[in-house]
Amino acid sequence: MGRNIAHVFAVMILIFMMLFQFISVIALSSPRGLLREENVNKVDVTVDDARRKVYDAYAAVVDAEASGGNVTDLVNRLNEAIELIRLAENTSDPEQASVFVEQAVSIADDVLSEVGEVKEEGLALRRFHLFLSVFSVSLLVVSGVLVYFYGPRVFWGLWVRIKGNWKVKSSGSKRSRRGWLVDEEVFAVVLAILVIVCVFVMSQMFYAGRVVEPFSQLAVLGPDKKLGGYLSEVRVGEKFKLYMYVRNYMGRVMYYIVYIKLGNRSVPLNLTYPYPAPVIARFERILMYNESWVFPIYLVMNKTGINYRIVFELWIYNETIASEQFYQRTCQLWLNVTE
């Protein structure tokens, strides 16, 4: 009987292995590169055109990441394109600006041409992990059932085979005929443990990568990259340095934009809406989940006054509505400017 049970168990394991190999081949051989983007005409491409192209590539990257793809390299290249756009905006040479813009568009086109393959690889890996989890849980369940129903028979079969020729001598005292090794309660406990393990594996698979409370951080740091030590007074034309800190706890890739605005006490600050004042600087970067961004900013005040309000706002590019969106994260500093 024990031999028949072993044969049945071996056949079941063989069937699971064959299914495992079959689904793995299907998952890893799925069609790739479904998203393709033709190169745009690089004649008279503006900074706004390049930024829209980067936005389009970012939206495709978000979709690929949601499908399980590894988009780290694509994000790094898009950040290179963003830096080229910044250089194009800051240069006074139109020809050099055109070169920067064309390079940025070329990088975005390359990302768009490769993101489909990354997405399909992510989907294939997700299917593989799903099957592996289901296979593991099924194997545990089958093992638990076999142990519960056939454990005692197999145990006693091995016991007889190993110790069948032994001689037993009575000690004269009566003992229970049921040992703890073959009690049904013991096998029931083993089955319960296997069920708990199965539930744990399934829950880990379901909640993997999920963030309970997604949020983003924005902070203004002093010239020493620390909270505090801010200047309260500068002279006209004097350059002063600060640092910005942004961190992504959203559980996904995010496109952040930091706007710096200059106002005064007469214009109140409402954290729910963007501050209605002129923009004096813009910084942008794409961050992976749990990635931080610290960068320096240099400001110069060209007019005297008291109680200048320097406002720092965090925005995001929302790919769902294809537009920039105020993220309701704001910091401010007060500054007096003298001769």
Domain boundaries, the chain: 1-164+181-208, 215-338
Say yes or no to pLDDT of 123 above 50: yes
CB-based contact 144:194 (threshold 8 Å):
yes
Is the model's pLDDT at 299 over the cut of 80?
yes
| pLDDT at site 33 | 36
Q: Is the pLDDT of residue 63 over 80?
A: yes
Helix (H) / strand (E) containing 198: helix 184-207
Q: What is the CA radius of gyration of the chain?
A: 32
Mean pLDDT on 153-171: 68
Average pLDDT, the chain: 81
The pLDDT of residue 17: 53
Summarize pLDDT for 171-224 with one digit per residue, the tens. Answer: 666 555 555 444 556 666 666 776 676 666 666 555 555 666 899 999 999 999
More confident residue, 78 or 146: 78
- For the residues 105-111, what does the mean pLDDT come to? 97
pLDDT for residue 36:
40
Residue 158: the pLDDT is: 72
Which phi and psi (to 5°) does residue 175 adopt? Answer: -130, 160
User: What would the two tokens of residue 146 be?
Assistant: 């076999």
Residue 310 has what pLDDT?
95
Beta carbons of 67 and 116 less than 8 angstroms apart: no
Residue with tokens 């698979």: 205
- The answer to whether 194 and 141 have CB atoms below 8 angstroms apart is yes
Tell me the CA distances in angstroms from 118 to 25, 113, 152, one per residue in order. Answer: 18, 10, 51
d(CA 64, CA 283): 25
pLDDT number for residue 49: 94
Looking at residue 25, what is its pLDDT?
46
Q: Which two tokens stand for residue 99?
A: 């070169």
Residues sharing a CB contact under 8 Å with residue 111, sequence separation 6 or more, in sequence order: 57, 60, 61, 74, 77, 78, 81
State residue 89's pLDDT score.
94
Strand pairing category for 254-264 and 215-221: unpaired
CA–CA separation, 122 vs 64, rounded Å? 7
The tens digit of pLDDT for each residue in 1-19 reads: 545 555 555 555 556 555 5
CATH 3.40.50.1110 correct for 215-338? no
Over residues 286-298, mean pLDDT: 96
